[in-house]
């Protein structure tokens, strides 16, 4: 799982700007400043598609002791424990509640993507993963696909083969918490994986028919502008299909939240974030779909920064910054010397500790509810 954020599946994509270019990509022909996710979904499915978040009761190897037990410093992973978890519902119930909420909020929603969001949603035996993904795909005829949030060290070959198979008939997105290319930043966040884990996972995931999405956090203390731009350049090197950008934010009950409350850590300023997002997007390929440009949390949990609650205003200001510069996504993109499709496919480096724990784990909570435990 990654920081929850402003999902760009909707229409609030800013006003169009016009361009005239025969060979432009569809989003460029539509006069957008960036390759926005909502428009991509509309082109693919012929109408509005919204995500519905699902909780299958997964935990995380960075929480249950397989790797560490602390979890990421920004993650409220206490909620992964069964005793603290809001009582789970069957997948079909979660979907119908979520679909009802979305259809009340938006007119004419054409389809839904079931989004396995909290915790590490590939952290179970592959047979159970297939059961649970199929439950979501078959629960409502309007579900057009699934999105699965996970860690770079939790994508064994068996899981990738499953997603490859499901992607033949459905939209499937595998969302990796990459966060940063810098080991010092990953260590500061207590991610308990390296960037080499990310490279291994994406080099085995690419080109299988499902979308590979990178989550990135901007504003990690100790990362200067040049370091964040190195992470931007790595998106093109590794050939991710899409990206979600998040500002680092702090919530109650987390190690980061305590440090922020104690005045030891400062969050990025709003203007700095807007400029950095635009710098970042200028450096990534115009073909990369931008799924999110900011992150936030429920107001009663959020500590800092408060400005991230103004998602629509941020989106407008990001467009305005592009306009001020006269640039668009990809204007500073430099293709890597080795095209992602030509990168060698490495052997699966999923850590033994993760594999062992997957094998030892019992049946997923949502599957227990389906009966036949
Ligand atoms: S990898 Fe980190 S952010 Fe994701 S679920 Fe585990 S502890 Fe939370």
Nearest to 40 by CA among 144, 155, 118: 144
- In-domain check, residue 370: no
The total number of structural domains in the chain stands at 1
- Cα 2 to ligand 1 centre (Å): 7
The predicted structure's pLDDT at residue 45? 95
Q: Decide if 113 is inside a domain.
A: yes
The DSSP secondary structure of 109-160, one letter per residue, reads EEEEEEEE-SS-TT-S-HHHHHHHHHHHHHS-TTEEEEEEEE-TTS--HHHH
Ligand 1 atom 7 nearest Cα: 71
pLDDT over 50 (residue 242): yes
Q: Is 337 part of a structural domain of the chain?
A: yes
Angle between helical axes of 195-205 and 225-238 (0-180°, round to 10) = 30
Q: Which of 65-79, 246-260, 261-275 has the lowest mean pLDDT?
A: 65-79
Residue 268 has pLDDT above 90, yes or no: yes
* Band of residue 325 on the pLDDT scale cut at 50, 70, 90: very high
Contact 315, 267 (CB under 8 A): no
Q: How far is the CA of 63 from the centre of ligand 1 (A)?
A: 7
**Helix, strand, or coil (residue 191):** coil
Q: In angstroms, rounded to a whole number, what is the distance separating the alpha carbons of residues 103 and 98?
A: 9
What is residue 366's predicted lDDT score, i.e. its pLDDT? 86
CA–centroid distance, residue 46 to ligand 1 (Å): 34
Gap between the Cα atoms of 153 and 179, Å rounded: 13
Quote the ligand 1 centre to 1 CA distance (angstroms): 5
Is 319 a domain residue? yes
Cα distance between residue 102 and residue 287, in whole Å = 28
The pLDDT > 70 percentage for the chain reads 91
> In this predicted model, what pLDDT tens digit does every residue of 272-288 receive, in sequence order?
999 999 999 999 999 99
Q: Which candidate, 314, 316, 309, places its Cα nearest to that of 14?
A: 316
**pLDDT class for 370, splitting at 50, 70, 90?**
confident
Structural domain contains residue 369:
no
Q: Is 20 a residue whose pLDDT tops 60?
A: no
Q: Is the pLDDT of residue 294 over 60?
A: yes
| Domain ranges, residue 211 | 5-360
Residue 151 Cα: closest atom of ligand 1: 1
Q: How many helices (H) and strands (E) does the chain have?
A: 13, 10
Query: Left, alpha or beta for 326 (phi > 0: left; psi -120 to 50: alpha)?
Result: left
Give the per-residue pLDDT at 176: 98
Name the H helices within 212-261. 225-238, 255-261
- Pocket residues for ligand 1 (CB within 6 Å)? 1-2, 60, 62-63, 71-72, 75, 77, 119-120, 151, 177
Q: Where does the pLDDT of residue 12 fall: very low under 50, low under 70, confident under 90, or very high at 90 and above?
A: very low
Of 181, 182, 285, the C-alpha closest to 240 is 285
Residue nearest to atom 6 of ligand 1 (CA): 60
Q: Name the burial class of residue 62, with classes exposed (0-12), middle (13-18) and buried (19+) by CB atoms within 10 angstroms of its CB.
A: buried
What would the mean pLDDT of 289-307 be, rounded to a whole number? 95
Euclidean distance between CA atoms 366 and 373, whole angstroms: 11
Average pLDDT, the chain: 91
Of residues 349 and 359, more confidence is placed in: 349
What is the pLDDT confidence band of residue 81, given thresholds at 50, 70 and 90?
A: low
State both tokens at 336.
Answer: 């890597």
Q: Express each pLDDT in 143-202 by its tens digit.
A: 999 999 999 999 999 999 999 999 999 999 999 999 999 999 999 999 999 999 999 999
User: What pLDDT shows up at residue 21?
Assistant: 58
**Residue 16: its pLDDT value, please?**
45
Residue 106 structure tokens: 């938006």
Whole-angstrom distance, CA of residue 96 vs CA of residue 75: 27
Position 10 scores a pLDDT of 40
Ligand 1 atom having least distance to the Cα of 61? 6
Q: What is the CATH number of the domain that holds 40?
A: 3.20.20.70
Residue 13: the pLDDT is 39
The SS3 assignment for 53 reads: strand
Q: Which atom of ligand 1 is nearest to the CA of 1?
A: 4
For residue 155, is it within any domain? yes
pLDDT, one tens digit per residue, over 185-232 is 999 999 999 999 999 999 999 999 999 999 999 999 999 999 999 999
CA of 269 to the centre of ligand 1 (A): 25
Question: Per the domain annotation, does 48 fall within a domain?
Answer: yes
DSSP 307: G
Q: How far is the CA of 333 from the centre of ligand 1 (A)?
A: 30
Q: Is residue 368 part of a domain?
A: no
Residue 83, pLDDT > 60, answer no
Q: Ligand 1 test: best mutation among 2, 4, 76, 152, most atoms within 8 Å of CB?
A: 2
């Amino acid at each position: 799982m990654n920081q929850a954020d402003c999902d760009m599946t909707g229409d609030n994509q800013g006003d169009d700007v016009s361009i005239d270019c025969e060979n432009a990509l569809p989003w460029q022909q539509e006069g957008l400043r960036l390759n926005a996710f909502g428009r991509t979904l509309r082109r693919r499915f012929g109408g509005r598609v919204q995500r519905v978040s699902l909780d299958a009761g997964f935990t995380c190897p960075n929480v249950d002791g397989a790797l560490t037990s602390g979890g990421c410093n920004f993650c409220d992973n206490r909620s992964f424990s069964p005793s603290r978890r809001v009582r789970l519902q069957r997948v079909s119930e979660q979907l119908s509640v979520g679909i009802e909420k979305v259809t009340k909020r938006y007119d004419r929603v054409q389809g839904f993507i079931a989004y396995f969001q909290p915790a590490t949603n590939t952290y179970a035996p592959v047979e159970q993963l297939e059961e649970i993904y199929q439950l979501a795909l078959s629960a409502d005829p309007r579900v057009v696909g699934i999105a699965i949030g996970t860690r770079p060290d939790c994508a064994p070959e068996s899981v990738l083969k499953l997603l490859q198979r499901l992607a033949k008939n459905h939209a499937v997105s595998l969302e990796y918490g990459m966060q940063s290319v810098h080991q010092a930043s990953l260590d500061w966040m207590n991610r308990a994986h390296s960037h080499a884990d990310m490279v291994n996972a994406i080099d085995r995931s690419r080109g299988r028919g499902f979308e590979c999405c990178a989550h990135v956090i901007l504003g990690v203390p100790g990362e200067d502008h040049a370091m964040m731009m190195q992470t931007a350049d790595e998106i093109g090197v590794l050939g991710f299909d899409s990206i979600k950008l998040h500002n680092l934010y702090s919530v109650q009950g987390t190690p980061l939240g305590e440090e922020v409350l104690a005045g030891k850590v400062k969050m990025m300023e709003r203007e700095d974030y807007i400029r950095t997002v635009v710098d970042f997007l200028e450096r990534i390929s115009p073909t990369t779909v931008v799924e999110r440009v900011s992150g936030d949390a429920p107001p009663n949990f959020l500590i800092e920064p408060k400005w991230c609650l103004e998602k629509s205003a941020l989106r407008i200001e990001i467009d305005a910054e592009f306009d001020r510069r006269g640039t668009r996504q990809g204007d500073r993109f430099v293709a890597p010397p080795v095209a992602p499709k030509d990168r060698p496919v490495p052997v699966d480096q999923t850590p033994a500790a993760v594999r062992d724990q997957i094998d030892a784990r019992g049946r997923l909570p949502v599957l227990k509810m389906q009966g036949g435990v």
